[in-house]
Chain A
């Protein structure tokens, strides 16, 4: 929502439209708060808290040690300041690092025993009944009849995974999909082998903090040659106040396998900012393919920049084997501050990385996001399509790296980053780094910055659309290439989100 009062009414827009738009100010569909009794660890972070989190998850000693060494490292490093975002200093000792709904302590027998508040949350999120049962941990829920198309869901509520659906069916296919705490317990050999190999615990300030205090997250292992029978999805919600959410996702696609993974996130409206520092690691072996789609809709704060989520996320995929393929698609509409660069290490020969992104920043939002394409193997290909939209007083930055190493012969990159500005008080920035160290590779980078085309708007308006609808349509057209890359379920949601996020941006 832009500052409507400050925006001049343009020709052809009557005051009524402006007022109607103004009323929509700050609409955030997911802004409710569920009052659920929570177990908290004391505020702040220190070795005791790290040990406590590790203890709560019944982790083996090696895992506790791993966390402690990350914590020791974190204490020595400084918060990065290079991103084009500004926010008040974060007091890392004033955050709860562990919060868990009390009702999770005992397993409920049926939905009637489940904390109705928790169920209400799921309902508001639009999760089907059967999946609600499973997520609430109702015994025997797996056998209940399912409705419609299947998507396996792992829901992370504040710090802990509250339930994973369709586990049995996935097990039949050999796919392991569970919370990471469960994986550490049941599949320690896999976790030990892969955890921290893509994003090492010393990677960067937030990733290091995450390594020390992550409380839960999702784990996926797809065995060789298996095409995962359904879409996997993680749903993250920050509910408790003053809580940081530090989830860790580890996805391993073994040789010749395929998996599509969706991630969604929301948070209640709060007037204090909350921290979210996640790490996603993806390992892709020979001939395997992973699609990772995110619709990030954390609470963005109100139109004056009060509250909202600080979203400081490290996501990286390592194409280890030849012909491995990763596709990142992200729709970033939420968060007060976003700091996120899903990256691709193209190590295997002929491996491929793709990055499709829509980042929308409205009101006082700040987004600094992009990708890294590190070409190490021969004949590797990457493609970056980034669409940044700024409205209100928001700042939106694309920051990306394309690096062709000397051995990455005959490789190819194409980058397109377009920015759209709506209103004269926002900013759109592009900071690409291009490093080419061999001559048989081709690198192309294109970027444009423009405003919503008046002629297109006029055309839509002449066909009877109001200005708001017209802008939403033009912006959806601007984002088309990225929206098309999303799985069906997400594409519809994302399209609607694009329109909602821009509500009130037209003056």
Chain B
């Protein structure tokens, strides 16, 4: 169907003057196809059902809105953990700050290098899962990322990888506009952990495509930096094979606009996929959106979506989650929970938790709640001598606990919990 003229014009305005990064022939073709997809779909607007609760105009504007730099005076996250560190500053690879791209059980290189090679496995993944993920819901910003991404990391795990790969995205320029694209291929029986931290740029788009072979495992923990003014859109597309595991967890604090989309395709039997996140939003400018789409197309699959949002001072939290169980995906166990804690009058929570089910022998459920802090619990704590501020933070932290429990590595979970506690204490 042809898109409306208004939308087509807005899309052309954004694409005018855009030059696609160069590479091998296959890479140029993949980018060209992605650009064609963007043109066919048109960039999103507030009128689209899928953007009903989030205004994408900052993400589609020709120029990135500027964002002041933020220094929280904190030690970098996961600094103590032994990782393979990779650093991008405003979307540009920082070779000095990064570790050598090598490790046991792993092949790792920069995306731009992979895309310059005439023959590379990345050809079978780059933009492939993103294209699959465009049905039934269009995600033009993901296609735009595939077209424009200048760099990223390409990871191939061939065994259990002991050291997590930690990508830090630093923000150093107030008007930076970056597009990064990461690929992860997990072989049968292999396991890898990817950590992503930092705001990335004033306007930052990342796309992650993950292909997990049967019995493989992929763990993903992400924190999106505390820059107050940044705008971020992320996409994660994963193909989850039989008896494999996919786990992703995201912490978002501050930021003007964050849209995290996660699109999982469970294609093998007995697979497990968990997506979870917490967000702490403060202030009218804060808008955070988690959009998840999980498709069960195999037997005995388990999926969990656990999202907790703490909002105050006019902050807005959005959750759009969907479980699609295709015909024949029997014995599926799908669970989805989205909860918000509204700390004051102006905060908003907007949710659309969906189920679409075409198989009968399944147990799928979703729950969504929204409300203020439990006064009875607060009273109980105060009557035990806990000061009101401490009591509030304690209850807020316990509200987020169910989501934090989704992180498999307890050391990582503890570090995030401590950090959240610190932020709450300072704000509270």
Which residues of A are in contact with B by a Cβ distance under 8 Å?
82, 84, 406, 419, 421-451
Contacts and interface: CB of A to CB of B under 8 A. Distances in A.
B368 interface: yes
Contacts, number: 117
B49 A422 contact: no
B357 A449 contact: yes
B343 A419 contact: no
Interface stretch (B5-13, B108-116, B216-224, B358-366): B358-366
- Determine chain A's interface SS by DSSP, over half rule: strand
Interface string B356-395: 1111111111111111100000000000000000000000
Interface stretch (B67-75, B226-234, B346-354): B346-354
A159 B379 CA distance: 62
B352 A429 contact: no
B31 to A, nearest CB: 33
Contacts of A82: 49
Nearest to A391: B360
A451 B360 contact: yes
A431 B342 contact: no
Contacts of A431: 352, 354
Contacts of B348: 435-437
Nearest to A418: B365
Nearest to A421: B360
Nearest to A444: B369
Contacts of A449: 355, 357, 362-365
Given A434-B349, A446-B367, A450-B363, A439 B344 contact: yes
B370 A442 contact: yes
A436 B370 contact: yes
Contacts of B258: none
- Among B343, B357, B367, B371, max chain A CB count under 10 A is at B357
Interface in B46-61: 49
A333 B340 CA distance: 36
Nearest to A454: B361
B80 interface: no
7 contacts: A419-B355, A427-B356, A430-B355, A431-B354, A434-B352, A445-B369, A447-B353
Contacts of B370: 434, 436, 441-443
Nearest to A428: B357
A432 B369 contact: no
- Among B327, B344, B358, B360, max chain A CB count under 10 A is at B360
A442 B361 contact: no
A425 B326 CA distance: 10
Given A436-B342, A442-B370, A447 B362 contact: no
A433 B352 CA distance: 5
B357 A446 contact: no
Contact of B362 (A406, A436, A451): A451
Contacts of B124: none
Interface string B277-321: 000000000000000000000000000000000000000000000
A450 B350 contact: no
Contacts of B396: none
A450 B332 CA distance: 10
B342 A439 contact: yes
Contacts of B371: 439, 441-443
A432 B330 contact: no
Contact of A447 (B351, B361, B365): B365
Contacts of A421: 357, 359-360, 362
Contacts of B350: 434-436
B116 to A, nearest CB: 45
A187 B358 CA distance: 51
Contacts of A443: 368-371
Closest 8 A/B residue pairs (Cβ): A439-B342, A421-B360, A442-B371, A434-B351, A430-B355, A445-B368, A436-B370, A449-B364
A432 B372 contact: no
A48 B186 CA distance: 69
Contacts of A437: 348
A419 B357 contact: yes
Contacts of A447: 353, 355, 365-367
A422 B327 CA distance: 13
Given A434-B349, A436-B340, A440-B345, A429 B357 contact: yes
A445 B355 contact: no
Given A440-B372, A441-B371, A427 B351 contact: no
Nearest to A447: B366
Nearest to B373: A439
A443 to B, nearest CB: 5
Given A436-B342, A445-B351, 8 more contacts: A424-B360, A426-B360, A428-B355, A435-B348, A435-B349, A443-B370, A445-B353, A445-B367
B369 A423 contact: no
A448 B364 CA distance: 6
Contacts of B342: 436, 438-439
Contacts of A448: 363-365
A435 B370 CA distance: 9
A425 B358 CA distance: 7
A424 B327 contact: yes
Nearest to A434: B351
A425 B357 CA distance: 10
B365 A432 contact: no
Given A436-B348, A442-B370, A425 B362 contact: no
Contacts of A435: 348-351
Nearest to A84: B356
A426 B349 CA distance: 33
Contacts of B358: 426-427
A450 B366 CA distance: 12
A392 B29 CA distance: 46
- Among A425, A439, A447, A451, max chain B CB count under 10 A is at A439
Contacts of A441: 370-371
A424 to B, nearest CB: 5
Nearest to B347: A439
A428 B365 CA distance: 12
A432 B368 contact: yes
Contacts of A430: 353-356, 366
B345 A438 contact: yes
Nearest to B358: A427
A436 B349 contact: yes
Given A431-B352, A434-B370, A449-B355, A422 B344 contact: no
A450 B352 contact: no
Contacts of B352: 431-434
Contacts of A424: 327-328, 330, 359-361
Contacts of A439: 342-347, 371-372
Contacts of B369: 442-445
- Among B328, B355, B363, max chain A CB count under 10 A is at B355
Given A436-B340, A436-B370, A442-B371, A450 B362 contact: yes
Contacts of B367: 444-447
B354 A429 contact: yes
Contacts of A429: 354-357
A15 to B, nearest CB: 22
A106 B358 CA distance: 54
A307 to B, nearest CB: 25
Given A430-B355, A437-B348, A439-B345, A451 B361 contact: yes
Nearest to B49: A82
A437 B358 CA distance: 34
Nearest to B343: A439
A428 B357 CA distance: 5
A487 B367 CA distance: 30
Contacts of B353: 430, 432, 434, 445, 447
A149 B356 CA distance: 44
B424 to A, nearest CB: 17
A457 to B, nearest CB: 13
A443 B358 CA distance: 28
A423 to B, nearest CB: 6
B322 to A, nearest CB: 9
Contacts of A419: 355, 357
